[in-house]
């Protein structure tokens, strides 16, 4: 894997450390942990840190089948991803068959026995997720849960399902647009009620099932998702395996940090690490930023054919520890200077993660960015660890940071001053 050769040159070790009023207060109770104590009933004590796992859609889409899911589960164990924290093996759209005479949903020929598949995944010490939606059809045109919410929730629980992604799709056309045409507010109420219905149905199964809302951020979903039992909610449209899409999604997370916390997370969509033509720098930046954003880490690549450099990124435990920090405080963008952005995330124990992201396509090492410590509430030299080189670094005021296009510097400062 490429290392930050130019960067290590500019990260000079300096000593003196001064205090600052903005340093994170470790003892202060986090507003989000207070929120969870009020909002999360016992059955919903899932996703206390952002869910980690794998989802079939980004790479396999409609080609997912029983064999592929078993292979993914095997690889999560064999690659060390399980040991690094990846737990959920999530089947996305295209598993569904037709309903029988009693309305019970069948699987299609790609999934001969969902219970046996769930048992297999569980036997590996992993958990299994599935996909549906509040409309009559899923986004790929398969049977969804409209009118069968309780029945489907019970079916999932009987199979041993641990996670449901619930995708709006046809509910817009078959219900919102039909029942209350031309009344956007009423349409949104219908949508919220539909998510509430499935939230309730899941809860009444008595099985802890992570509830993942997918409706692309409509109607400020972050404001109401926890009240319908949502553990995470997509904040945007679909991610794609190119830098433009990934950066666009990063940019849309501004202002959402306060809605995230243990049990309830903003979801900037699944990972594209290892997909398409993303460069190693882009994969690294994508993964780092998702960690900064306290995002679910759902790998979306072809695990049996994963390249070593992709595996190294997905299993970087220091970066995963940022994502999984128990305080659950999502990071925010401290400032931008041209196309270089500085993000910070407050961590448990008073630690701080600092990311410097070169989002530009043409800004190169010969034109370095200079880091302002005062703009991130710090003063004096800050000792930390570069989470991609694994080396100790010291951040100093006005230091040049040389990053290739779309690359990132991610530093954990244990005791910021
Ligand atoms: C939508 C979702 C995707 C995926 C597909 C499946 O586009 O946003 O994440 O689940 O549907 O059809």
Q: At 355, phi and psi to the nearest 5?
A: -120, 135
Nearest CA to ligand 1 atom 11: 139
Per-residue pLDDT in tens (0 to 9) along the chain, 417 residues: 233 333 332 332 222 222 222 233 333 333 333 333 434 444 448 999 999 999 999 999 999 999 999 999 999 999 999 999 999 999 999 999 999 999 999 999 999 999 999 999 999 999 999 999 999 999 999 999 999 999 999 999 999 999 999 999 999 999 999 999 999 999 999 999 999 999 999 999 999 999 999 999 999 999 999 999 999 999 999 999 999 999 999 999 999 999 999 999 999 999 999 999 999 999 999 999 999 999 999 999 999 999 999 999 999 999 999 999 999 999 999 999 989 999 999 999 999 999 999 999 876 655 789 999 999 999 999 999 999 999 999 999 999 999 999 999 999 999 999
Tell which one of 59, 63, 93, 275 to mutate to probe ligand 1, the residue whose CB is within 8 A of the most ligand atoms. 93
Q: Which two tokens stand for residue 173?
A: 């056309």
Q: How far is the CA of 240 from the centre of ligand 1 (A)?
A: 11
Contact 171, 179 (CB under 8 A): no
Catalytic residues: 167, 238
Nearest CA to ligand 1 atom 1: 139
Q: How far apart are CA 159 and CA 156, in angstroms?
A: 5
3-state secondary structure labels for all residues of the chain: CCCCHHHHHHCCCCCCEECCCCCCCCCCCCHHHHHHHHHCCHHHCCCCCCCEEEECHHHHHHHCCHHHHHHHHHHHHHCCHHHHCCCEEECCCCCEEEECCCCCEEECCCCCCHHHHHHHHHHCCCEEEEEECCCCECCCCCECCCCCHHHHHHHHHHHCCCEEEEECCCHHHHHHHHHCCCCHHHHHHHHHHHHHHHHHHHHHCCCCCEEEEECCCHHHHHHHHHHHCCCEEECCCCCCCCHHHHHHHHHCCCCCHHHCECCEEEECCCCCCCCCCCCHHHHHHHHHHHHHCCCCEEECCCHHHCCHHHHHHHCCHHHHHHHCCCCCCCCEEEEEECCEEEEEEECHHHCEEEEEEECCCCCCCCCCEECCCHHHCCEECEEEEECCCCCEEEECCCCEECCCCCCEEEEEECCCC
**Measuring from each residue's beta carbon to the nearest atom of ligand 1, which residues come in under 6 Å?**
57, 92-93, 138-140, 167, 214, 238
Counting from 1 in the atom list of ligand 1, the atom nearest the Cα of 216 is: 8
Tell which one of 141, 167, 172, 245 to mutate to probe ligand 1, the residue whose CB is within 8 A of the most ligand atoms. 167
Q: How far is the CA of 235 from the centre of ligand 1 (A)?
A: 13
pLDDT score recorded for residue 405? 93
Q: How far is the CA of 59 from the centre of ligand 1 (A)?
A: 12
Counting from 1 in the atom list of ligand 1, the atom nearest the Cα of 214 is: 8
Q: How far is the CA of 325 from the centre of ligand 1 (A)?
A: 28
Counting from 1 in the atom list of ligand 1, the atom nearest the Cα of 270 is: 9
pLDDT score recorded for residue 362? 73
Nearest CA to ligand 1 atom 5: 139
Q: How far is the CA of 360 from the centre of ligand 1 (A)?
A: 28
pLDDT score recorded for residue 95? 98
Counting from 1 in the atom list of ligand 1, the atom nearest the Cα of 238 is: 8
Nearest CA to ligand 1 atom 3: 238
Tell which one of 233, 238, 272 to mutate to probe ligand 1, the residue whose CB is within 8 A of the most ligand atoms. 238
pLDDT score recorded for residue 60? 98
Counting from 1 in the atom list of ligand 1, the atom nearest the Cα of 61 is: 6
Q: How far is the CA of 90 from the centre of ligand 1 (A)?
A: 13
Counting from 1 in the atom list of ligand 1, the atom nearest the Cα of 237 is: 8
Q: How far apart are CA 261 and CA 327, in angstroms?
A: 8
Tell which one of 214, 218, 269 to mutate to probe ligand 1, the residue whose CB is within 8 A of the most ligand atoms. 214
């Amino acid at each position: 894997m490429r290392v930050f050769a130019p960067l290590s040159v500019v990260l000079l070790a300096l000593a003196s450390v001064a205090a600052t009023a903005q340093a994170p207060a470790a003892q202060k109770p986090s507003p989000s942990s207070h929120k969870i104590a009020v909002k999360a009933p016992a059955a919903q004590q899932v996703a206390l840190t952002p869910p980690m796992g794998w989802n079939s859609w980004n790479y396999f889409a409609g080609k997912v089948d029983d064999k592929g899911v078993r292979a993914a589960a095997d690889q999560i164990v064999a690659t060390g991803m399980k040991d690094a924290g990846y737990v959920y093996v999530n089947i996305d759209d295209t598993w569904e068959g037709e309903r029988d005479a009693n309305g019970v949903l069948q699987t299609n020929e790609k999934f001969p026995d969902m219970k046996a598949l769930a048992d297999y995944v569980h036997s590996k010490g992993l958990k299994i997720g599935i996909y549906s939606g509040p409309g009559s059809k899923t986004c790929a045109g398969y049977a969804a849960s409209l009118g069968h919410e309780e029945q489907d929730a019970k079916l999932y629980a009987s199979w041993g399902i641990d996670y449901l992604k619930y995708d709006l799709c046809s509910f817009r056309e078959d219900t919102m647009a039909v029942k209350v045409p031309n009344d956007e507010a009423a349409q949104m109420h219908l949508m919220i009620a539909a998510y509430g219905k499935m939230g309730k149905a899941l809860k009444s199964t008595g099985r802890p099932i992570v509830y993942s809302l997918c409706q692309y951020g409509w109607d400020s979903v972050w404001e109401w998702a926890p009240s319908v039992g949502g553990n995470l909610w997509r904040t945007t449209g679909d991610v794609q395996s190119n830098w433009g899409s990934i950066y666009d999604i990063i940019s849309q997370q501004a202002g959402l940090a306060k809605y995230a916390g243990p049990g309830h997370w903003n979801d900037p969509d699944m990972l594209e690490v290892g997909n398409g033509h993303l460069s190693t720098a882009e994969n690294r930046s994508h993964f780092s930023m998702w960690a900064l954003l306290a995002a679910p880490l759902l790998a979306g690549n072809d695990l049996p054919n994963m390249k070593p450099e992709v595996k190294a990124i997905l299993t970087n435990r220091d970066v995963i520890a940022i994502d999984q920090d128990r305080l659950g405080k999502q990071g925010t963008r401290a400032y931008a200077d041209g196309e270089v952005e500085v993000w910070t995330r407050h961590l448990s124990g008073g630690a701080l993660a600092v990311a410097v992201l070169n989002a530009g396509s043409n800004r190169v090492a010969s034109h370095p960015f200079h880091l302002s410590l005062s703009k991130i509430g710090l003063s004096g030299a800050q000792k930390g660890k570069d989470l991609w080189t694994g080396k100790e670094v010291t951040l100093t005021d006005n230091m040049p940071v040389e990053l290739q296009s779309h690359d990132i510097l991610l530093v954990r400062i244990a005791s910021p001053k």
